[in-house]
């Protein structure tokens, strides 16, 4: 990510977003149809690692922000004596002029010549624990590489756990003290934890945040010891390749956790707040409110009309809200009308919420058009119904990959 460009790797290619005034525009996908597990802006270069089962793993670099690409002539390769072949590149990062790559099978590579050649970190590869690491659902891969400074690096592998070095990769120690692994015979083993992701606080490099199957942990001594700060199921419902944890670069106690939804903690990972909302018979449905740097975004989640969302959205910069067409719903059988009223918010009800909350921008998502409407004409109809119900503020009906900034 740069100030004006965001690169997003997906299973269907690389999507690049450019700032356009107050919003963002998405370019045509790069590496269309290929899986891009790793991408990173480093200096003036954008790196990407496209992969297919047929062509294998490539490593590519762009010097013009992703408009043209050079495939590296000598990509990462395991030494012959290891009798190991590279499967995938899972992370690319850098510290100064040194590049780092975390790969599958779990290993760390470094490059000191801009990616022209790569060296296996033999100190980690030859660690006696490595032979006992096992693959998680995404494979046996090193998905986290954090070079804190020239000598102190932290890595995480699934499933092996967290490891750290203080001599620039020469020797490594397991760094999993107090991190539980209930699926193992020893529930607090030296290694073997299925870590999802680790982040460090740029304002305090000794503070690390770790997310895995059994909660969010924090370390205030560079990973030597860990304390579980949160074990709520909402933060650990899905496998590691769906999850992420990120420390705010400006606010020491703010940390974000991505799982089935995005959560934000303002007390160093202890609590992540959400808004319970009504959604028929579902007992655990939530909306979310995000506030940072003087801006507020509220996301309704899947919900019937909710007073809690109304209260959270008062004066918000952006309200992102699901919606079902009130006019279209009238065409459905009575039992279906009752069902949808219990689970969703009609255009008329959303207009009432928006009139009172007065968000600067109302973004419609999870649109249920009803009445035969589809896509473009349905979006026009939804907005028209909200206007007719009295909301005069700015409205956008969102599509996949749309980006909005407060």
Lowest mean pLDDT among 44-58, 102-116, 186-200: 186-200
Q: 116, 161 in Cβ contact below 8 A?
A: no
For residue 392, tell me if it sits in a domain: yes
- The residue among 221, 247, 274 that closes a domain is 274
Please check whether residue 22 lies inside any domain of the structure: yes
On whether residue 80 sits in a domain, the answer given is yes
pLDDT tens figures, 193-225: 888 888 887 778 888 888 887 778 889 999 999
Q: Are 298 and 268 in the same domain? A: no
Higher-pLDDT residue of 43, 371 = 43
Query: Alpha carbon of 252 to those of 19, 128, 204, 272, 288: distances in Å?
Result: 27, 36, 7, 15, 21
Q: How far apart are CA 277 and CA 240, in angstroms?
A: 27
> For all residues of the chain together, what is the average pLDDT?
87
Same domain, yes or no: 347 and 251 = no
| Domain ranges, residue 293 | 276-397
How far is 12 from 5, CA to CA, in rounded Å?
19
Q: What is the dihedral of CA 7, 8, 13, 15, to 10 degrees?
A: -60
pTM of the predicted protein model: 0.65
Residues 121, 234: one domain?
yes
* Same domain as 284, residue 250: no
18 and 139 housed in the same domain? yes
Q: Does 177 reside within a domain?
A: yes
Domain presence at residue 406 = no
Three-state SS at 26:
strand
pLDDT at 45: 94
- The reply to whether 41 and 117 lie within a common domain is yes
pLDDT score of 240: 47
329 and 261 assigned to the same domain: no
- Assigned domain for 402 exists: no
Same domain for 210 and 324, yes or no, is no
pLDDT of residue 93: 95
Residues found in the chain: 406
Q: Output the pLDDT for position 242.
A: 53
Give the H/E segment covering residue 385.
Answer: helix 375-388
* Strands 215-219 and 204-212, bridge-based pairing: antiparallel
Looking at the structure, tell me whether residues 246 and 312 fall in a common domain. no
Domain membership flag for residue 164: yes
Q: Give the chain's domain count.
A: 2
Pull the structure tokens for residue 260. 């089935």
Identify the band that residue 173 occupies on the pLDDT scale cut at 50, 70 and 90.
very high
Same domain, 252 and 108: yes
Q: Specify if 405 maps to a domain.
A: no
Buried b (16+ CB within 10 A) or exposed e, 14-49: bbbbbeeeeebebeebbbeebbbbbbbbbeebbbbb
Instruction: Tell me which of 255, 274, 293 is where a domain ends.
Output: 274
d(CA 284, CA 282): 6
CATH, residue 377: 3.60.15.10
Tell me: pLDDT of 375 over 70: no
The token duo for 216 is 């969010």
pLDDT for 58-89, tens place per residue?
999 999 999 999 999 877 899 999 999 999 99
Q: What is the CATH number of the domain that holds 229?
A: 2.130.10.10
Alpha-carbon distances, residue 57 vs 53, 77, 103, 119, 226 (angstroms): 8, 10, 10, 17, 35
* Residues 233 and 371 grouped into a single domain: no
Residue 245: its pLDDT value, please? 74
Specify whether 292 is located in the same domain as 159.
Answer: no
Which of 237, 254, 274 represents a domain boundary (last residue)?
Answer: 274
Beta carbons of 138 and 158 less than 8 angstroms apart? yes
């Amino acid at each position: 990510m740069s100030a004006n460009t965001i690169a997003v790797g997906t299973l269907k290619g690389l999507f690049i977003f450019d700032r356009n005034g107050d919003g963002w525009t998405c370019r045509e996908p790069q590496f269309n149809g290929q899986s891009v597990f790793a991408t990173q802006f480093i200096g003036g270069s954008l790196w990407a690692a496209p992969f297919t089962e047929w062509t294998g793993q490539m490593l590519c670099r762009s010097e013009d922000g992703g408009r043209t690409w050079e495939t590296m002539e000598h990509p990462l390769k395991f030494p012959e004596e290891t009798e190991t072949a590279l499967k995938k590149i899972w992370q690319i990062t850098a510290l100064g002029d040194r590049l780092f790559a975390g790969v599958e099978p779990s290993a760390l590579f470094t490059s000191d010549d801009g990616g022209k050649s790569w060296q296996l970190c033999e100190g980690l590869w030859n660690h006696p624990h490595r032979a006992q690491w096992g693959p998680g659902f995404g494979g046996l891969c090193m998905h986290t590489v954090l070079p804190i400074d020239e000598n102190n690096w932290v890595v995480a592998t699934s499933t092996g756990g967290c490891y750290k070095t203080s001599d620039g990769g020469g020797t490594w120690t397991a760094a999993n003290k107090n991190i539980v692994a209930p699926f193992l015979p020893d529930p607090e083993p030296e290694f073997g934890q299925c870590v999802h992701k680790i982040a460090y606080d740029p304002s305090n490099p000794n503070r690390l945040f770790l997310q895995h199957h059994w909660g969010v942990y924090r370390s205030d001594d560079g990973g030597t010891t860990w304390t579980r700060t949160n074990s709520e199921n909402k933060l650990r419902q899905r496998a590691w390749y769906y999850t992420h944890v990120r420390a705010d670069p400006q606010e020491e106690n703010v940390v974000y956790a991505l799982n089935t939804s995005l959560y934000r903690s303002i007390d160093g990972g202890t609590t992540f707040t959400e808004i319970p909302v009504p959604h028929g018979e579902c007992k655990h449905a939530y909306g979310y409110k995000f506030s940072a740097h003087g801006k507020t975004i509220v996301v309704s989640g899947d919900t019937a009309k909710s007073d809690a969302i109304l209260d959270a959205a008062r004066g918000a910069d952006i309200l992102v809200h699901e919606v079902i067409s009130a006019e279209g719903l009238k065409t459905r059988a009575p039992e279906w009308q009752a069902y949808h009223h219990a689970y969703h918010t009609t255009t008329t009800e959303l207009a009432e919420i928006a009139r009172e909350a007065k968000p600067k921008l109302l973004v419609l998502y999870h649109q249920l058009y009803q009445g035969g409407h589809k896509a473009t004409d349905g979006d026009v109809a939804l907005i028209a119904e909200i206007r007719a119900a009295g909301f005069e503020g700015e409205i956008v009906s969102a599509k996949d990959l749309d980006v909005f900034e407060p």
